[in-house]
Amino acid sequence: MAGTYKTTQGDVWDLISYKVYGDEGFMDTLINANPAHRHTVMFGAGVELAVPEMPSASPVSSLPPWRNK
């Protein structure tokens, strides 16, 4: 999904990433595409964010290998 996303009250970066990409691991992609909001932790309703194309590579997991199964 590329385009824009309009926030709902209480949205956070990882939830938005999950909603638009199906994976919360792409939140860095969203933050980098929206530098004016990079310090926002929780959004109010109606903030329009840019949503770039989903990166072709999966995000690097911060979980240890035995938890990635």
**What are the structural domain ranges in the chain?**
3-52
pLDDT of 68:
60
Separation of alpha carbons 6 and 58, rounded Å? 24
Q: Looking at the structure, give the CATH architecture of the domain made up of residues 3-52.
A: Roll (3.10)
User: 4: pLDDT confidence band, cut at 50, 70 and 90?
Assistant: very high
Render pLDDT for 27-65 as a digit per residue (tens, 0 to 9): 999 999 999 999 999 999 999 999 999 877 666 566 666
Burial of 26 by CB count in 10 Å (0-12 exposed, 13-18 middle, 19+ buried)? Answer: buried
Write down the pTM of the prediction.
0.78
**Helix, strand or coil for residue 53?**
coil
* Cβ atoms 24, 63 nearer than 8 A: no
